[in-house]
Amino acid sequence: MFKKIGIVVLLVSLILGMSTMMWAYKSEYRMTLNVGPTFYWGMGAKKFCDLVKEKTNGLINIKPYYGSSLLKGAQMTSLQMVSMGVIDCAYESTINSAPVIPQMNIFSLPFFINNFKNLDKMEYGETGKAIFKAMEKKGVIGLAWAENGFRQVTNSVREIKSPKDMKGLRLRVCPTPIFIDIFRKLGADPVNMNWGDAVTAFQQGTVDGQENPVGVLLPVKIYQYHKYVTFWNYLVDPVIVYWSKREWNAFPPDIQKAIREAAEESARFEKALCRAGLDGDENTPGSSLYILKHEFEYTMQHPDPVGFLKSKGMKVTFLTDEERQTFIEATKPVLQKWIPKVGRDLYEKALKDMGKE
């Protein structure tokens, strides 16, 4: 008798347990990102989806929606959609999150961060913590720091070595006000445009140039449209892996842990792709090429992005210290204007993280 009851209880709890498993998770979690699968950023996002599936034994299936297709190309609405729970998660640029979280503009302050070391100190320091806190307040949970990269300017008209070279150049910039402020101050004629429309604008020559990191310049074959590129690291574009807060909080801890680990691992891989060839060769321990080889057994198709752009006929310019100074001076008023907008507190945290106090 007791044995029978025991078996019935066991069966009922098994069925209940299985059905909760089936009901608790969606068949597909939707992820938004602004670029396509051939970009380093897109490759990192795909790796995240694969790792989540693997680490949750197939319970969580994320589908990446490339090119902001869930947003009809409106890249600046990504964070809002995830915070509302319309989209589950994102592998998205800080630039595209700025309309909801003005603190994200800290990375777009002109000539403020300048190199990978400073950036890492901020992301893994107090600045990064403060940004994740600000995200949580807006209904999303930050999981890991990935990257698009330091943005470089390209154009089809002339070499850029000083602000006067920018005079009158019509440049596509990201659809956000700080970019307009920077390029107007430099004497250019910037136009806000979604990335989804940008490549057509390059093809048709309706703009003379644009700015993006190597991880974007290579897959769009920018050398087909623009002859000149200036490496000036004027601002940086991190990518954050994040999830809708309400949904995140409902996940059991083991699922949260698995997703977080997947986010971190994919972000380490993705960052290395974006920095490969820009932070040392494959024999330099700690360099991105070294990490890709030894941690991920991955061989880059283009281990030397600068050399590759040259080989495609581009005139590649690196600024001297004096040349760089002319841009710093010219954009100082923009920096001053935007410090209060990102918050003086956060700005000071960033200075401290970078050891610039």
Rounded (5°) CA angle 294-299-301: 155
Work out whether 93 is an interface residue with ligand X2X (CB under 6 A): yes
Number of other CB atoms surrounding residue 1 within 10 Å: 5
Q: Which is nearer to ligand X2X, 60 or 142 (CB)?
A: 142
Residue with tokens 């890991």: 144
Stretch that binds ligand X2X, among 17-25, 89-97, 120-128, 277-285 (CB under 6 A): 89-97
Q: Which is nearer to ligand X2X, 35 or 143 (CB)?
A: 35
Stretch that binds ligand X2X, among 15-23, 93-101, 299-307, 347-355 (CB under 6 A): 93-101
Beta-sheet pairing, 189-192 with 170-173: parallel
Two structure tokens written together for 39: 């970009």
Q: How far is the CB of 75 from ligand X2X (least distance, A)?
A: 5
Work out whether 98 is an interface residue with ligand X2X (CB under 6 A): no
Q: How far is the CB of 235 from ligand X2X (least distance, A)?
A: 11
Q: How far is the CB of 225 from ligand X2X (least distance, A)?
A: 14
Q: Which of residues 124-163 bind ligand X2X (CB under 6 A)?
A: 148
Work out whether 237 is an interface residue with ligand X2X (CB under 6 A): yes
| Element housing 243 (H / E) | strand 236-244
Tell me the three-class secondary structure of 188-237, residue by residue. Answer: CEEEECCHHHHHHHHHHCCCCEEEECHHHHCCCCHHHCCCEEEECCCCEE
Q: How far is the CB of 197 from ligand X2X (least distance, A)?
A: 10
**Contact residues: ligand X2X, CB under 6 A:** 34-35, 75, 93, 95-96, 148, 174, 195, 212, 216, 237
